[in-house]
């Protein structure tokens, strides 16, 4: 049985913005938006190697990704996941490719000057869905 329900696959068939939840050192949940891509087996995202989310995932290798439908914010797909791997190889290239996809630029323009970016692979373990169909659509 596939983890990703087919009725929600439209939220992840191309690179998407997701909110990732990680557990911080104090035990508090920390949330941040990331560009995420589904490979068919794993979700991947990249961040500066010194970022809190990388430290959090190194200490507690579990997370959630939430993909919200841009036309109906009451429809979403939450992915619970385990860290499969970390790699500095390909982290910056991933961010550059996402910047091209989302912003039409060839290089990620918000690089802090850090030469180290980490590419994270997350193995989905569970999918949680919700869909409330309101009597309107965003932009109507």
pLDDT one-digit tens code per residue, 81-90 = 999 999 989 8
Distance between CA atoms of residues 17 and 98, nearest Å: 10
> What proportions of the chain, in percent to the nearest 5, are helix, strand and coil?
20, 45, 35
> Please, which pLDDT band fits residue 3 given cuts at 50, 70 and 90?
confident
DSSP state of 107: S
**Model confidence pLDDT, tens digit, residues 95-136:** 888 899 888 898 887 766 667 899 999 999 999 999 987 666
Tell me, what's the pLDDT at 1? 42
Distance between CA atoms of residues 119 and 95, nearest Å: 9
- Give me 12's structure tokens: 């992840």
**pLDDT of 36 over the 60 cut:** yes
């Amino acid at each position: 049985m596939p983890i990703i329900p087919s009725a929600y696959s439209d939220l992840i068939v191309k690179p998407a913005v997701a909110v990732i939840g990680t557990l911080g050192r104090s035990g508090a949940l920390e949330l941040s938006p990331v560009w995420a891509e589904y490979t068919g087996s794993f979700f991947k995202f990249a961040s500066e190697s010194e970022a809190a989310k990388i430290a959090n995932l190194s200490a507690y290798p579990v997370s959630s990704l939430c993909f919200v439908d841009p036309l109906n914010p009451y429809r979403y797909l939450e992915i619970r996941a385990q860290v499969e791997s970390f790699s500095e190889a390909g982290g910056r290239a991933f961010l550059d490719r996402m910047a091209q996809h989302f912003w039409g630029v060839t290089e990620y323009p918000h690089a802090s000057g850090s030469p180290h970016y980490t590419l994270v692979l997350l193995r989905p373990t569970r999918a949680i869905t919700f869909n409330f169909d309101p009597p309107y659509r965003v932009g109507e």
